[in-house]
Amino acid sequence: MADTLYVTDLDKTLMRNDLTVSEFTVREMNRLIDEGVKITYATARSFTSAYDITKDIHFRVPVITRTGTTFADQINAREIETAFFCEENIEELRSLLPVIDRCGFTSVYIDGKMYKIFLEGPKCPESQGYIEYYKSKEDKRLRFVETMDELWEGDISYITLIASQEELAPYYDKVKTSDRWECIFQKDAYREEYWLEICPKDATKAKSVLKLKERLGCDKVVVFGDSLNDLPMFEIADVACAVSNGMDEVKKVADVIIGSNEEDGVVNYILNDIG
């Protein structure tokens, strides 16, 4: 019997539309994990954000966050491996993304802790909405600096721009062709805004899944997803499963269509797969 690694996306895949995971999924996943089944998740969310939602599931396999930038230990609630931009790439991205002052932030590690660094001043509505949401949660990771130099200081692992599709599209065109970093441009799963996210080279969901497969000695990978940023995972998987609520482009290339995120599609597939 193949030693299988199961990897699920979170938003709109494992998580329901109300941003929770069902009691059934939590209970059955924990039972499967206790029985030795290798299950993890790969998400664009930061580990802090993902952990707040999934903390009741005791993932023993390292989880993949920030689109492959960071591996984390769910049991001990800590990040264990993070990729960073080199100084040369930071200087180039700084020149390509002047709009970051009003619609974005850098994710910077200081003394081992990640902070979201924003430049003080007016923001576009989409970025301001993001700030207000996390301020309402009293998120201590938010930091505001006075100069552009401060925005780009430290160990930077992730660059995020949040605005309208029209505003961000020209900047995506500037960064998408480079082989010196990875980038994703897509609509938010829950709102109309668009996100342009840039990661260090080789920091992708797909490449991180392959690293994990090798480290664990697994010989088969089954992945679950719903959106365009899951397609690279589909390409490297032995079995690619799309939830029925997923985008048509994703379902078209999936090997299997499973139940929706509201129907515990992921855990039901795993239960059936292991017999």
The number of domains in the chain is: 2
Whether residues 45 and 121 fall in one domain: no
Q: For a pLDDT cut of 70, what percent of the chain falls above it?
A: 99
pTM reported for the whole predicted model = 0.89
Quote the pLDDT of residue 1: 47
Whether residues 244 and 261 fall in one domain: yes
Average pLDDT of 55-74? 96
Whether residues 77 and 208 fall in one domain: yes
Quote the pLDDT of residue 112: 86
Residue 89 scores a pLDDT above 70:
yes
What's the domain range around 95? 88-200
Tens digit of pLDDT for each residue in 128-154? 999 999 999 899 999 999 999 999 999
Tens digit of pLDDT for each residue in 224-259? 999 988 999 999 999 999 999 999 999 999 999 999
Q: Where are the beta strands (DSSP E) in the chain?
A: 4-8, 38-41, 63-65, 70-73, 78-82, 104-110, 113-119, 142-145, 155-163, 181-187, 194-200, 220-225, 239-243, 256-258
7 - beta bridge partners? 40, 223
Whether residues 27 and 71 fall in one domain: yes
Measured distance CA(193)–CA(60) in Å, rounded: 34
Whether residues 114 and 71 fall in one domain: no
Query: Of 145, 169, 200, which one is at a domain's C-terminal end?
Result: 200
Cα dist from 30 to 3, 24, 34, 43, 196, whole Å: 18, 10, 6, 19, 34
Whether residues 78 and 209 fall in one domain: yes
Query: Of 200, 228, 243, which one is at a domain's C-terminal end?
Result: 200
Whether residues 142 and 210 fall in one domain: no
Query: Of 200, 218, 250, which one is at a domain's C-terminal end?
Result: 200
Q: What is the CATH number of the domain that holds 10?
A: 3.40.50.1000
Torsion of CA 8, 9, 14, 20, to 10 degrees: 140
Tens digit of pLDDT for each residue in 165-219? 999 999 999 999 999 999 999 998 888 999 999 999 999 999 999 999 999 999 9
Q: What is the CATH number of the domain that holds 134?
A: 3.30.1240.10
Whether residues 236 and 269 fall in one domain: yes
Whether residues 92 and 189 fall in one domain: yes
Whether residues 213 and 265 fall in one domain: yes
Q: In whole numbers, what is the pLDDT of the chain averaged over residues?
A: 95
Residue 2 scores a pLDDT above 80:
no
66 pLDDT tier (thresholds 50, 70, 90): very high
Whether residues 51 and 64 fall in one domain: yes
